[in-house]
Amino acid sequence: MVHQSVLLQEVVEGLRGERGEVILDATVGGGGHTEALCGKLCGNAENGNTAATTFVCLDADEDAVERSRQRLLNFTREGKRAHCRFLFRQINYRHLDQALREFGISGINRAFFDLGFSSFQLEESGRGFSFMRDEPLLMTFAKDSNTDAVTAETILNEWKEETLVTLLKGYGEERYAKRIAGAIIAARAKTPIRTTGELRAIIESAISRHRKVHPATKTFQALRIAVNDEFRGLTEGLSKAWDALLPGGRIAVISFHSLEDRAVKNFFRELDKTGVGTAITKKPIVPSGDELTRNPRSRSAKLRILEKTRAYVQQ
């Protein structure tokens, strides 16, 4: 399946970028959103404005960085987008301040986070993100992880039953957490759980398949969040993007499940409440009917946008 960028025009219009700014794409993925922003801002010079717009393109996934690099550099070679400058770095957005320092950038005008998974990660990474394939149970964003890194296999074979129940409830909102955890404990007592196919079979044997979504969906979500420490990473990434954002700048975030959206909403709400930020989206923007038809995977996407007040003074 070809990856389709979600809420593409809504992001471009909501960020309200201007030529010559510094724009951070904290999760560049396949490069679709940055390509659209470049096309909007960096066409032929208008009114004599030839200032280059700088795009800082980050991703924890090495393959994603390379895909976006090829896509965006080919895009600019068309000759129409001569005023886009791209800086690429393979790094988790929780360390975006480090990347900005390395590029010599002290402030940004726009920041964008797409918290979803690309089709490439689900279908081609080989790291166990999808229960539709039989792959090693890694679930790490980084392609070449530290040998000491916690993986989904580690969690499934070493964590205690009560910890697994807490994990599945807290990160997966799985109502059958106790039943699934019990099945995992029973299965690993016979032989270690090594692949996504084995885990999927365990879950299917534990709970009914007559559900709107596959019974393994929430368990896989919970494991991925735990392996990558996603919620703490999201809070750190948003905080660092906010610190780097210049007055009048905007942050846009697309989330894909209720726990992510709640974290983003609370972060934005606190800044809005104190007056240092203004929530541009009082309610999240969701995909149109047309987009849902074209791309059913976009169905759970929610876009929220926050602007730093122009009178903001760094504390």
Q: Which of 203, 218, 237 is nearest to 60 (CA)?
A: 237
Instruction: Count CB-CB contacts under 10 A for residue 300.
Output: 15
3-class DSSP state of 308: strand
Token pair for 123: 């279908």
CA distance 252 to 267: 12
How far, in Å, CA of 75 to CA of 80, rounded? 9
Q: Which residues contact 282 (CB under 8 A, 6 or more apart)?
A: none
31 is in an annotated binding site: yes
Residue-by-residue DSSP string for 170-210: HHH--TTHHHHHHHHHHHHHHS---BHHHHHHHHHHHS-S-
| Dihedral angle computed from the Cα positions of residues 183, 185, 189 and 192, in that order, rounded to the nearest 10 degrees | 90
33 is in an annotated binding site: yes
Check whether 63 is labelled as a binding-site residue: no
Is 70 within any annotated ligand binding site? no
Whether 249 and 308 have beta carbons less than 8 Å apart is answered as yes
CA distance 96 to 237: 7
Does the annotation place 4 within a ligand binding site? no
Counting Cβ atoms within 10 Å, is residue 232 exposed (0-12), middle (13-18) or buried (19+)?
exposed
121 annotated ligand binder: yes
Q: What is the side-by-side order of every strand in the sheet holding 84-90?
A: 84-90, 53-59, 22-25, 108-114, 245-255, 302-308, 277-279
Is 9 annotated as contributing to ligand binding?
A: no
Binding residues: 31-33, 59, 93, 114, 121
Binding residues for S-adenosyl-L-methionine: 31-33, 59, 93, 114, 121
